[in-house]
Structure 1
Amino acid sequence: MTLVAHVRDLRVEIDGRAIVDGVSLAAHAGRITALIGPSGSGKTTTGLALLGEYPAGAVVDGEVHTPAGPVGYIPQHPASVLNPARRVGALLADIAARHGGNRRERRHRTEEALRLAQIQDPAAVLRRFPHQLSGGQQQRVVLAQALLLGARVIVADEPTTGQDVLTKQGMVAELAVVAAQGIAVVLLSHDLGVVRELADEVVVMRDGRVVDRGPASSVLDGRVPEQPSAARAPRPPGQVRLEARNLTAWHRTTRGAVEVLSDIGVPVAAGECVALVGRSGSGKTTLGRCLAGLHRAYEGTVLLGGTPLPRSLRSRSRPELAAVQYVFQDAKAAFDEHRPVLDQVARSAVRLRGAAPAHARRTALSTLGEFGLGESLARRRPGELSGGELQRAAVARALLAEPQVLICDEITSGLDPATRATILDALARLRERDELSLVFITHDLAAAAVLADRIAVLDAGRIAESGPARRLLETPQHPVTQGLLSASLTQRA
C-alpha cells in the first residue's frame, strides 16, 4: 500500500482545552479510511488538519504530511465552499482551466466530473447559482470540484448528509470509484451503513482521542445501523395554521425562469408535523423557503391563520417573523463566528419579542439546556462547537422567538444517533406542550416516522403522494415513495 498522507500524534488545543489529543491517521492510495464517533469527538478537526486548516486561535502540535498536489475537501455543509455570487459553471470552469485545453475540452471535463458526481442534468446545474441547488446537489458539485482538481487525497466530511437514500447510494458508488482510481479517501461519517459499505479501515474517536481502530469488518462488528421506527399515529385534525395554496415557484437563470415547484398545496394544522420528503432537487427546500419568506419568486399564496403572508421576509412584520421560524441545514453558516452562541440565541427573543436582555439570556440558557447544551458550551463562539452542538443551538435560537410554526430543513442530517434523538425528543415535547406546528424537510424516513403526522412526497416539483405518515410508510402508492422506502430498507439491512 502506498502511503499518501498521514497524521501523527496530532494535538489541537483551544483556550487550553484539547479538542484533538494524540491522534494518528494514515491515508493510503486507493483505500478508504473512515473516522467515526459522536459529535464533538474531533473527527472534523482531524480531517481538516490534512488541509492545513485549524480553528481560530488553536495551538497545534504533532506531524501532518500531505502530498505535493491538492487535497480535496467535501464539507458537511457544501454551501460554505461555493461562491454564492457565481454560477456553478463559472466556478467549475476556473478549475478546469488549470489543466489547459480548449473551451470545448474544458466543458467536457466539467460535465464528465458532474456526471461522475451523480448530477443527472449537468447542463442545467451549470447555469444555476449555489443557492438554487438543494443541499445534496451542492454536495455533488463540491465532489466534482475535487475531481477536477486532480486531488490525490479527498477528505469527505459527512458526504451523504442531506441526501435521499437513492442519491446516497450513488454517492457511495462514486466514492468507491474514486478510491478505485488510486485516490486516498478519508471519510468522516456518522452513517454506519455507509461506513460499512465503503471503508477499508475504521478509526473510532471519542473526546478527541482514538479509542479503537482496525479493519472495518472487525471494528463495526456488533455496531448495528439504526432501524426505522414505527410511524406515529396521526393527531386528530385541528385548525389550519400555515398553508401553501396553488404555489408555483421558479429560479431565475441566464436562460430565463426555471420552474421548480408546480401548483403545490400543503396545509399544516396547529400542533401538527408535516414531513416533506423526496429526492435531492425535488423542491422540498424551495417550498420551505417560500413558506418562510426566503424565496419570493413564486405565484400562489402562503397563509398564516388564514391571512396571506408577504412573499419577502423583509416585508413581514415582527410578529409575522416570529411566528414562522426557519432552521437551516448548515447551522455553522447561520451563526456569526465572532459572537458567543448564548448571545445570538438570546438575541432572537430581544429582537422578535421585545424581551428584556436579562430575561432573554435566562430563557436562552434554559432552552439550550433542554437540548443538552450547558452554560460553558453556550458561552463559546460557534467555531468551538461541533456541528451537532451548533445544530441544537440553531433550533434553540428559533424557539426563543416563540414561533407558531418551525420549519426544519434537514436538521438531523449528519448527526450521530444520540444528538439526533435529543433533537427529535425535544421537538416532540414542544409539539405536545406548546402546540408547535412543524414543517420537517428530510431525507430521513426513520425521523419522519418518529415525528410526522402526515408526509408529502415531492418529485420534480410536484406532490407525488401525501397522507398520514403511517399509511405512506406502510402502504406507499407512488413509485417514488416505494423507491425511497425500498432503498432505505436495503441500506439499513
Structure 2
Amino acid sequence: MSTVAEVHGLRVEIAGRALVDGVSLQARAGRITAIVGPSGSGKTTTGLALLGEYPPGARIEGTVRTPGGAVGYVPQHPAAALNPARRVSALLGDISSRQGGTRAQRRERVHRALRLARLPDPPAVLRRFPHQLSGGQQQRVVLAQALLLGARVIVADEPTTGQDVLTKQGIVAELAAVAEQGIAVVLLSHDLDVVRQLADEVIVMREGRVVDHGTAESVLTGPVRPAPVAARAAVRRGTPRVETRGLTARHRTPRGAVEVLTGIGVAAAAGECLALVGRSGSGKTTLGRCLAGLHSAYDGTVLLDGTPLPRSLRSRSRTELAAVQYVFQDAKAAFDEHRPVLDQIARTAVRLRGAHADDARRTAVRTLEELGLPASLAERRPGALSGGELQRAALARALLAEPKVLVCDEITSGLDPLTRNTILAVLARLREQAELTLVFITHDVPAAAALADRIAVLEAGRVVEQGPAHRVLDEPEHAFTRTLLRAATQHGELRRTRAVPEPESG
C-alpha cells in the first residue's frame, strides 16, 4: 500500500526539553498506525507534526512529508477546534459549500458525514452551538469535519476519550470504515482495547522516543485494562452535602429552548462519591455544570448543605465559588495559554481563600507532586504540557480552593493507566480524609465501581436508575443500565474485522 505520510528522524525541542527525539514512522493508505505511551511521551507532538504544527518557539530537526494530500486532525480536546460562536450547521456547511453542488447535495454531504461519525439526529445537532454538545458529541463533529475535507490522512488524538463504551464501539467501526476507504489513520491513544481492535501497526513511545514497534499482538502484552483502585465499603449516609431537587435544564436554540435534563433529583453526603454515568449526550455534563453555576438555564434547586445556591456563577459569593469546584474534561481550554501553569494554580488559593502568594505556591507545588506532576514542568506555559499533564494541573487548581464539593468531568479519560490509578487513589484519599464530596462524571465503569458510593444512570436527560453503587452494578433494574454494563464487560473482547459495512453513498 502507498505511503501517504512519512516522518523521519523528527526532533522537537522547546526550552531545552526534547518533546520528541528521533521519531520515524510511515502512514500507509488503508492502514491504521497507533502511537501509544504515557502522558507526555510525545504522541500528540508527533501527530501534530503531520499537520506541520509545532509548539511556539520549538526547534525542529528531521523531515515530515505528506505527499498523499490533506491531513485531517481530530484533537483530544475537540472544543478547541470548534468556533464557539457558530452553530454546527455553519461549521460543516462552509466546508461542504467549498465542494460545490446543489443545496440538496451540500446538505446531504453534511448529513452523511454526521451519520458516519455516529451522531444520531443530525438536524438537532446542526442547530446547536459547540458548547451545547457533550464532549463526545464535539469529538464526532470534528471527525465529521475531517471526513468532509476529504483528508487522505486522519490523525485521531484519543478519539475515544470521554466516550461511553457503546459509543466507543461505534468509533471503532467508524475508524475501521475510514481505513477501508483508503485513508491512512494515525491513532494516538491510551485505550489499549481500542488499539488492539484497530491497529495494523503499533509504535510505543516513552519520554519522546520510540521504544518499541510492531503488530498489536507482538507489542501489547499483559493486561489490557488498567487495574481499578480498591473498592471501599459503603459509608453510612448523612445529611446531603450537595443536592438537586426537580432540576430541569434547557439549552437555547434558534427555535426556542430545548429541554436537556428533566426532573433530576440526586444527592451526595460529605465524604461520599456520586458517579454520574450514561451515554455521551445524556446530560451528565450539563448536570455537573448546573451544580457549579456554569449553566444557569434551569428550573428547580441546587442546594449546598441544605441552602439553595445561586444559579449563576456570577451571583455566587467567594465562599460559594470555593465550595463547589469543577474540573473540566477539556483541561487545555481551562488555562490561559500565556501564563505559567503553576502561577494559575496558586492564584486559585489567593483569589478564593485569601492565601498569601508564597503559601499558595508551596501548596500548589505539594499538590502537583502528589498528582505525579513535577513543579519544574508546571512552571511552563500550558502549550508545553501534554493533555494528561494539564488534566492533573487542572485537578490541582481545583483542590487549592479547598472545596466541599468537587465535580470531576471525565478527568481520567485522557490518562494513561498508571496516571489514572494515581488520580483515583488521590480522590479516594481526599474523600475519606477531608470528607470531600465527589461528583464523578465518567464513562469509565471500572473507575465508577471502585470510587463511587452511589451511582446515577442518565439516559436522554433523565435519571433512569440510581442507588448504592454495589446494587446498581450487581443488580441493575433498568434495561439501559444492563445494556451499559454488558457493553463495558464485553468492550475488551471486541475485535476489528475488515468486513465492516461500506459507507452509505452520498
Separation (CA, whole Å) in 1 of partners of 2:2 and 2:458? 45
| Aligned-residue offset at 1:223 | 4.8
Q: 2:313 matched to which residue of 1?
A: 313
Q: 2:347 matched to which residue of 1?
A: 347
Q: Is the 8 A contact 2:47 2:186 kept in 1?
A: yes
Separation (CA, whole Å) in 2 of partners of 1:45 and 1:110? 30
Q: 2:299 matched to which residue of 1?
A: 299
Separation (CA, whole Å) in 2 of partners of 1:355 and 1:171? 46
Q: Is the 8 A contact 2:196 2:217 kept in 1?
A: yes
Which stretch of the first structure deviates more once superposed, 330-339 or 60-69?
60-69
Structure 2 CA distance for partners of 1:183 and 1:27, relative to 1, 3 Å = same
Separation (CA, whole Å) in 1 of partners of 2:232 and 2:108? 48
SS in 2 for 1:281: coil
Q: 1:29 matched to which residue of 2?
A: 29
Q: 1:87 matched to which residue of 2?
A: 87
1:264 aligns with 2:259: no
Q: 2:176 matched to which residue of 1?
A: 176
Separation (CA, whole Å) in 2 of partners of 1:252 and 1:232? 41
Query: Within 5 Å, which residues of 2 pair with 1:151-162?
Result: 151-162=151-162
Separation (CA, whole Å) in 1 of partners of 2:65 and 2:203? 18
Separation (CA, whole Å) in 1 of partners of 2:49 and 2:356? 42
Q: CA RMSD in A?
A: 1.1
Separation (CA, whole Å) in 1 of partners of 2:91 and 2:19? 34
Separation (CA, whole Å) in 2 of partners of 1:414 and 1:16? 26
Deviations 1:222-260, CA, capped at 9 Å, x for gaps: 353335677543211012111111000011111111110
Separation (CA, whole Å) in 1 of partners of 2:196 and 2:375? 37
Query: Within 5 Å, which residues of 2 pair with 1:66-465?
Result: 66-67=66-67, 69-226=69-226, 231-465=231-465
Q: Is the 8 A contact 1:327 1:394 kept in 2?
A: yes
Q: Is the 8 A contact 1:232 1:470 kept in 2?
A: no
Separation (CA, whole Å) in 1 of partners of 2:446 and 2:225? 12
| Aligned-residue offset at 1:378 | 2.1
| Aligned-residue offset at 1:385 | 1.3
Q: Is the 8 A contact 1:227 1:492 kept in 2?
A: no
Deviations 1:97-129, CA, capped at 9 Å, x for gaps: 111011111111101100010001100000000
Deviating beyond 3 angstroms after TM superposition, the runs of 4 or more aligned structure 1 residues are 227-232
Separation (CA, whole Å) in 1 of partners of 2:358 and 2:286? 36
SS in 1 for 2:266: strand
Separation (CA, whole Å) in 2 of partners of 1:96 and 1:204? 37
* TM-score when normalising by structure 2: 0.96
| Aligned-residue offset at 1:442 | 0.3
SS in 2 for 1:118: coil
Separation (CA, whole Å) in 2 of partners of 1:271 and 1:210? 43
| Aligned-residue offset at 1:374 | 2.1
In structure 2, what residue type is equivalent to 1:61?
E
Separation (CA, whole Å) in 1 of partners of 2:77 and 2:234? 33
Separation (CA, whole Å) in 1 of partners of 2:406 and 2:2? 50
| Aligned-residue offset at 1:389 | 1.1
How many pairs align?
493
Q: Is the 8 A contact 2:229 2:425 kept in 1?
A: no
Structure 2 CA distance for partners of 1:226 and 1:363, relative to 1, 3 Å = closer
In structure 2, list runs of 5 or more residues that go unmatched. 494-506
Q: 2:45 matched to which residue of 1?
A: 45
In structure 1, what residue type is equivalent to 2:118?
Q
SS in 2 for 1:9: strand
Q: Is the 8 A contact 2:4 2:68 kept in 1?
A: no
In structure 1, list runs of 5 or more residues that go unmatched. none
Deviations 1:150-179, CA, capped at 9 Å, x for gaps: 000000000000000000100000000000
